[in-house]
C-alpha cells in the first residue's frame, strides 16, 4: 500500500466527499493521507487506461 512520505495540506473541506466531510478538523491527517493515496491510484489507472488497446487485452503476450 502506498503511504505518502509527507502529509499534504491541500485537501480542504470543499474537496471532501460528502461521506467523510464531517471528519474534517479532527481527522485531517488521515483524510489527507487517504486523498493523496487515492490520487496516486487514479494517476496510475489513468496511465494504463490510455493503454487499453495494448495487445495483451486481447489475450496476447504483452
Site string for other proteins, 1-40 (x = CB under 8 A): xxx------------xx-xx-xx--xx-xxx-xxx-xxx-
Q: Which is nearer to other proteins, 1 or 9 (by Cβ)? A: 1
With contact defined as beta carbons under 8 Å apart, do 28 and 3 qualify? Answer: no
Helix-then-strand count for the chain, H and E: 1, 0
Rounded CA gap, 32 and 15, in Å?
A: 11
Q: Which is nearer to other proteins, 12 or 41 (by Cβ)? A: 41
Q: How far is the CB of 26 from other proteins (least distance, A)?
A: 8
Amino acid at each position: 500500500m502506498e503511504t505518502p512520505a509527507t502529509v499534504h495540506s491541500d485537501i480542504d473541506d470543499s474537496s471532501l466527499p460528502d461521506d467523510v466531510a464531517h471528519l474534517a478538523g479532527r481527522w485531517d491527517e488521515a483524510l489527507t493521507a487517504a486523498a493523496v493515496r487515492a490520487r496516486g491510484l487514479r494517476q496510475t489507472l489513468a496511465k494504463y487506461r490510455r493503454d487499453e488497446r495494448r495487445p495483451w487485452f486481447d489475450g496476447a503476450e504483452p
